[in-house]
Amino acid sequence: MMYGIIGALDEEVELLEAALEHKSEQQVGPYRYVQGTLDSKQVVICRCGVGKVAAGSCAATMLALYPLTGLINTGAAGGIAQGMQVGDLALSLQAVQHDVNATVFGYQLGQVPGHEPTFVADEKLLQAARSAAAKTGFKPPFEGTILSGDQFVSSDTVVADLTAKFPHSVAVEMEGAAIAQIASDFKVPFLIVRAISDCADNHGAVSYETFSREISHKSANFVRALLNAL
């Protein structure tokens, strides 16, 4: 079994890469895939870059190259669920691209034509994440819809609009739902794991700049615990 791990930025994958044993690398275009053993699990890790196109391209290439059992997206996100705080964890029950709108053709808001309204995360990976949180002392993660779009959300008004349109959403970021779409196309189980760096509000950019590295490392450490729970 081999698991793929994708993060947008170096800080989101650097701890995991540093912990790998028996490493090998493969460069494909802009993507550097690092394969190895992480606590007895076979994994391949890649930094995809920011945004849905980069994330989808990276995921598709990874899935074409490696026989993955599951695909995990890790990193920071803006928390938009009631009561969320910096440092909390979010897990995807499903993922939606909030900036997709083909409603004029009868699709739901956020639904990519040719796909289901949401991309549903894998229950086995979710159960492993819950078990990891319980065993390792992490605060229980928030679970719900993770929203992705090609914008950094840092506005009270935008958050209010997103939570009204997608009432079960817990976090917003820029890659996860694109990775979920590609995983679904390849019929490979996926899970998005995000640690909250900001609340996507009017102060979101400042909060992100302050906490993003620490929070990205927290998400990576949780992914490692998750893999150990499988």
| Residues noted as catalytic | 12, 198
Give me the residue label for tokens 């900036």.
99
**Token code pair at residue 168:** 């079960």
Angle among Cα 214, 219, 220 to the nearest 5 degrees reads 95
Return the sign of the alpha-carbon dihedral for residues 162, 194, 176, 13.
Answer: positive
Q: Do 200 and 158 meet the contact criterion of CB atoms below 8 Å apart?
A: yes
* Residue 59 burial (CB count, 10 A): 29
For residue 56, give the nearest of 215, 194, 184, 197 by alpha carbon.
184
**CA–CA distance from 122 to each of 69, 107, 140, 180, 210 (Å)?**
11, 24, 18, 10, 32
Cα angle vertex 205, ends 202, 206, to 5°?
Answer: 95
d(CA 159, CA 152): 11
Chain centroid to Cα 220, Å, comes to 11
